Structure 1
Amino acid sequence: MAQLIVLGVADRDTAEKALDIAADLSRQQLLQLEDAAYAYKDEKGRPRIHQTIGTTGVGALGGALWGTLIGLVFLNPLLGLAVGAATGAVAGKLTDVGIDDDMIKQIGSQLEQGRAAVFLLADSATADRAIEAFAPLHPTVIRTNLTRENERELVEALRS
């Protein structure tokens, strides 16, 4: 089961550093990252979201492939390509995978001005190495789907 951890950090730059750390841990096979995002409030106090996985491009690519194949059957591959890419892009835009967008928006709207929240959805992790990597950012745990005991252990580990 995937584990969701939401960390509060000082600002947008720290949130970007956290995503860099998560990507590095993923490359080292220490964290199987399924999705990641961060939210922050802009200068006008509006919540902003940065997601790492975009579904629009993937949908367009898949739609273009299927549209071309269907277009070949009906002897008009260019029309099939165009229609397939357009419908695939729309389907990709409407598809929500990974971290729930509504939850990201809700937490983002509750942030104090200048603060940021980092959302990590991981299938498995080498916990001690991941905690060690994130600790220098001085994050606070906002939300998890861990057991209460595991969440308490995470909070304590990040404090030290």
Structure 2
Amino acid sequence: MIELIVVSFKSIHDADRVLVQLNEMQKEYLVDLADAVVVLRQPDGKLNLKQSIKLAGAGAASGGISGAFWGSLVGLLFLNPLAGLALGGIIGAGTGALAGKLVDYGIDDRFIRSIGEKLTPGSSALFLLIRKVQPEKVIAELAGFQGTILRTSLAPHQEKKLREALAHAEEEDTRKEEAL
């Protein structure tokens, strides 16, 4: 079952840092991300979205290959396969890129923007769709980050563990500041 988790951070850079760490954990098979989006609320209030899956590039590549193949076949019919290959590749890449831009894969952009608008300027949020996770290991790896859960589809006991881990990181940070 795919789970949705949305966590906000006080720093504009923390959501990116957590995503980098999650991508490393994905290489170790500790987590399997279906989609991830980083939302940055700039100090001037402007909202930036960073999609982790670039569909336009993938669509252009697959469209180019498909277009080149079909263009070559049509070109053979008219005894000019090279022209068909070139023209088919160009048209296929263009339509593939357009289709990739128009497809909304994973987390709905309207949902992301509606939550992002509520962030305070100078902060960030991380939107995750998680296929599989080893919660104890992932939470232990991310213990140094302090965040606030905004939305989740986790079971109540799993959400409680995540909230406790994030609160623990904030408590440790407060103790370090007081010691200084």
Q: Residue 12 of structure 1 aligns to a residue in which SS?
A: coil
**How many residue pairs get matched?**
160
1:56 aligns with 2:56: yes
Q: Is the 8 A contact 1:11 1:40 kept in 2?
A: no
Give distance in 2, aligned partners of 1:87 and 1:8: 36
- 1:11 corresponding residue in structure 2: 11
Residue equivalent to 2:173: none
Q: Deviations over 1:23-44 (max 9, x none)?
A: 0110111001111111121232
Q: 1:140 aligns with which of 106, 130, 148?
A: 148
What is the alpha-carbon distance in structure 1 between the residues aligned to residue 147 and residue 50 of structure 2?
Answer: 18
Unaligned runs of 5+ in 2: 76-83, 169-180
Unaligned stretches of 5+ residues in structure 1: none
- Bigger radius of gyration: 2
Q: Deviations over 1:85-119 (max 9, x none)?
A: 00000000001112221111111111001111111
Q: TM-score of the superposition, structure 2-length normalised?
A: 0.84
User: Which residues of 2 match residues 114-133 of structure 1 at below 5 A?
Assistant: 114-133=122-141
Moved over 6 A (4+): none
Shift of 1:67: 0.5
Cα-Cα RMSD: 1.2
Query: Matched residues, percent identical?
Result: 34
User: TM-score, normalized by length of structure 1?
Assistant: 0.94
CA contact 1:7–1:143 (8 Å) conserved in 2: yes
Between the aligned partners of 1:57 and 1:73, the Cα distance in structure 2 is: 24
